[in-house]
Amino acid sequence: MDIQYLSTQILGIQQLSTQHLSTQFLTAQHLSTQHLTTQWLCAQCLHPVAWPVSLSPQCQLSGLWRNEQDSLMEISALTDDGGFQGEYLTRVTLAGSCPRVSPLKGAQQQPSEVASPTFAFTVRWTCSPPGNATTTFAGQCFVEASGREVLSTTWLLREAVGSLEEDWKATR
């Protein structure tokens, strides 16, 4: 996926001011579970969302996802062992001077094992902010009664610091 496609997807979504996004980013520093939890809605899945009545719905990670902050994430098809990769683009990054996607890699339980698999992935940020940082996400994939797929995640961001004495401020 290229940056122009992701930019078009984000700009087509509800417009948010940079000030609002910055405020949301800063409040996440308080380490409240409420602020570290993110829900993703399937924006353009690569698979059907409607399931035959005889089959129970199974959540699939592959596709284009959008969260409540209007960040976009595209996850490729899963490998046989549950691995996946993709790209992540934040609204904050797009509004800044470095509108580039950041790579992500992860793994999930096999959907054949459970209808709502758990998963985890890591994003290696390519722009500043957050710059020299990595974020990990852990979550679970759900299918609502309406057939809509939702990823419920919790994240942890780690920024590089200059010394062990500064370690206390590196994780949020």
Q: HSE on the CB side for 35, CA within 13 Å? A: 13
pLDDT tier at 100, thresholds 50, 70, 90 = confident
Residues 67-85 have a mean pLDDT of 90
pLDDT score recorded for residue 31: 32
Tokens of 29: 């520093």
Separation CA 120–CA 106 (nearest Å): 5
List the chain domain ranges. 36-169
Residues 6 or more apart in contact with residue 68 via CB below 8 angstroms:
38, 39
pLDDT tier at 48, thresholds 50, 70, 90 = very low
Residues 20-35 have a mean pLDDT of 30
- Judge if the upstream peptide bond of residue 99 is cis by omega within 30 degrees of 0: no
114-168: per-residue pLDDT in tens?
888 999 999 998 876 566 889 999 999 998 888 889 999 999 999 989 999 999 9
Q: HSE on the CB side for 134, CA within 13 Å? A: 7
CATH of 36-169, one of 3.40.50.720, 2.40.128.30, 2.60.40.1170, 3.40.50.300: 2.40.128.30
pTM of the model: 0.68
Q: Which of 36-45, 60-69, 163-172 is predicted with the least confidence, judged by mean pLDDT?
A: 36-45
